[in-house]
Chain A
Amino acid sequence: MPAASRFSARHIVFLVVLAAVTLPLIFNLSLTHTVTPETQQVYANIDSLAAGELLLLSFDFEASSLPEVRPLAMALIRHAFSRDLKIMGMSLFAEGTALGEQTIRQVAKEYNKQYGVDWVYLGFRPQRESAILSLGESVSAEFPRDYFGTPTTGMPIFAAADSYAQIATVISIADGDMPSYWIEYAVSPHAVNLQAAVTASMATSFYPYLQSHQLKGLLAGLKGAAEYENLIERKGGGARGLYALSVSQFVIVLVIIAGNVVERVRRRRN
């Protein structure tokens, strides 16, 4: 193929994708959609917890995947706070640390939750294996001070729980392979009840763990967030982006078909 025509074909695809994303955002529609069993499972797990039980949320993502993971995190935190569950937040990724704190803080304000009593933000730990294992011994020993430098001993939230044994469920909100480290270093040695909320691109990697019951629930991508928002009856980023996502997914299918048609025609001509 001559360089000029390859250049133009590529840029036409770029423009098609841009239009497929932009136009549905401007002329947005609210779509009805079903809830997958995987999402239903996460919802049921959190819904079954009693008020006052503790969730450990690990914000294991970079800023790069924020548009995808933030709606997931918001929906999960809203569900937890509406059920009066307590939340400990932390991150195994540098960038996820600031983003996680901002997300919990925003939702905590909506539900009038008190810092240190209803939620706490522990901050960042590098070296995932040792961080995950250390939490099994004592959360307050691993995090003697919270994200803001305040000593964690004496915080009311730590009276209820200080290790995996007292944490009702751990949720890794991730854009990479981090839930598999939680499986290896928290589920295997400590039988932690683990769920994952991941970007769509990582979802296929975690289905085997779901079947082996090492993962108790799997929430995936923007569609997963929209489904969860349906379940908690509170629309957010998932519902807002769903129409644009659905249109652009269809456009990609058309692009794949177009690529094959062009190839066939070209081959026949040759």
Chain B
Amino acid sequence: MDLGTIIAAIATLAIFSFLYKDNPFYRMAEHILIGLSVGFTLVLLWNSVLTPKLFVPLFSKGDLWSLIPFAMSILMLMRLRGSWSKFSKPVMALIIGAGAGLSIPARMDARILKQLSATIEPFSAMGLGQLSAGDIFNAILGLIAVLTVMVYFFYTRPDNKPVRAISQVGIYFLMIFFGATFGYTVTSRLTLLIGRIEFLLSDFLHLI
């Protein structure tokens, strides 16, 4: 058995020891994990982004346009010193503003228009007589679900009885979604456990 497998097994057992209670082995493993993850990401960012997109164009190719992101990066690093951190605000604003600008048309299309269109679409097919009774039922159910869930989120006046009744219907649909998600989440977590137990039984103990 190679050293890597033994180390991986010890690390796995150290994390599992948390199931009994919080203990120094677990905490040690937890801190090693945090340190390695941060180090791993820093190296990757340096190699994958900063070197090809900033350092190579600026220092190897002499691309003067790259001075702009270089200056922005310096301003960003000023966040590390309390009194200078205000100089990073315009750079933060660039990130936030760009993100906001990119998200408006993208979300309008992907999350709002296309989703509403998918809710209404079956009804156009219904008019052409192309849907079975089951499809019609599902289309109506879908429309009710979308509308009642949205009412539940947007209209929160407790004194309005009709709105409260509609919200209640929305709650039932949400319960179905959360229940289904819980069922699938349990499945997901069990799969992760299966993966780790399989590693211990197979690679480490050679039992299977």
- CB within 8 Å: A-B pair count: 139
Q: Are the CB atoms of A249 and B190 closer together than 8 Å?
A: yes
Given contacts A22-B201, A67-B192, A199-B188, 5 further A-B pairs with CB under 8 A are A66-B195, A67-B195, A68-B188, A241-B194, A241-B195
* B contacts, CB < 8 Å to A: 19, 37, 40-41, 44-45, 47-49, 52, 98-99, 102-103, 105-107, 109-111, 114-115, 117-118, 177, 180-181, 184-198, 201, 207-208
Docked Cα-Cα span, A130 to B53, in Å, equals: 13
Of the listed stretches A38-46, A107-115, A200-208, chain B binds: A200-208
Q: Are the CB atoms of B177 and A67 closer together than 8 Å?
A: no
Give which listed residue, B52, B103, B187, contacts A145 with CB less than 8 A. Answer: B52
Q: Are the CB atoms of B187 and A200 closer together than 8 Å?
A: yes
Give which listed residue, B110, B188, B208, contacts A25 with CB less than 8 A. Answer: B208
Docked Cα-Cα span, A248 to B98, in Å, equals: 46
A69 to chain B, nearest CB (A): 9
A-B contact list, 17 entries, CB within 8 Å: A21-B193, A21-B197, A25-B197, A25-B201, A26-B201, A26-B207, A64-B192, A67-B195, A125-B49, A184-B109, A201-B187, A208-B115, A214-B114, A222-B194, A241-B198, A248-B193, A249-B190
User: Is residue A32 within 8 Å, beta carbon to beta carbon, of the partner chain?
Assistant: no
Q: Are the CB atoms of B190 and A129 closer together than 8 Å?
A: no
User: Is residue A133 within 8 Å, beta carbon to beta carbon, of the partner chain?
Assistant: yes
Which chain A residues (182-220) contact chain B, with CB distance < 8 Å? 183-185, 187-189, 199-205, 208, 211-214, 220
Which 10 pairs show the lowest CB-CB distances between chains A and B? A67-B195, A212-B118, A201-B188, A184-B106, A201-B185, A200-B188, A200-B187, A200-B184, A188-B109, A184-B110
Question: For A21, A26, A66, which residue has the most chain B Cβ atoms within 10 angstroms?
Answer: A21
Docked Cα-Cα span, A21 to B52, in Å, equals: 45
Q: Are the CB atoms of B114 and A68 closer together than 8 Å?
A: no
User: Is residue A97 within 8 Å, beta carbon to beta carbon, of the partner chain?
Assistant: yes
User: Is residue A153 within 8 Å, beta carbon to beta carbon, of the partner chain?
Assistant: no
Give which listed residue, B114, B181, B195, contacts A201 with CB less than 8 A. Answer: B181
Docked Cα-Cα span, A133 to B193, in Å, equals: 36
Which residue of the partner chain A has the closest CB to B199? A67
Q: Are the CB atoms of A188 and B110 closer together than 8 Å?
A: yes
Interface size bracket, A side: 35 or more
Residues of B near A189 (CB, < 8 A) are 105-106
Residues of A near B190 (CB, < 8 A) are 17, 21, 245, 248-249, 252
Residues of A near B111 (CB, < 8 A) are 180, 184
Q: Are the CB atoms of A17 and B193 closer together than 8 Å?
A: yes
Docked Cα-Cα span, A126 to B45, in Å, equals: 8
Residues of B near A25 (CB, < 8 A) are 194, 197-198, 201, 208
Docked Cα-Cα span, A129 to B197, in Å, equals: 37
Q: Are the CB atoms of A67 and B184 closer together than 8 Å?
A: no
Residues of B near A94 (CB, < 8 A) are 40-41, 44-45
Residues of B near A65 (CB, < 8 A) are 188, 192
Residues of A near B115 (CB, < 8 A) are 208, 212
Which residue of the partner chain A has the closest CB to B117? A212
Q: Are the CB atoms of B184 and A144 closer together than 8 Å?
A: no
Q: Are the CB atoms of B187 and A22 closer together than 8 Å?
A: no
Which residue of the partner chain B has the closest CB to A251? B190
Residues of A near B45 (CB, < 8 A) are 94, 126
Docked Cα-Cα span, A220 to B191, in Å, equals: 12
Docked Cα-Cα span, A138 to B192, in Å, equals: 37
User: Is residue A221 within 8 Å, beta carbon to beta carbon, of the partner chain?
Assistant: yes
Q: Are the CB atoms of A26 and B188 closer together than 8 Å?
A: no
Q: Are the CB atoms of B191 and A97 closer together than 8 Å?
A: no
Q: Are the CB atoms of B40 and A95 closer together than 8 Å?
A: yes
Residues of A near B110 (CB, < 8 A) are 180, 183-184, 187-188, 214
Q: Are the CB atoms of B49 and A249 closer together than 8 Å?
A: no
Residues of B near A95 (CB, < 8 A) are 37, 40
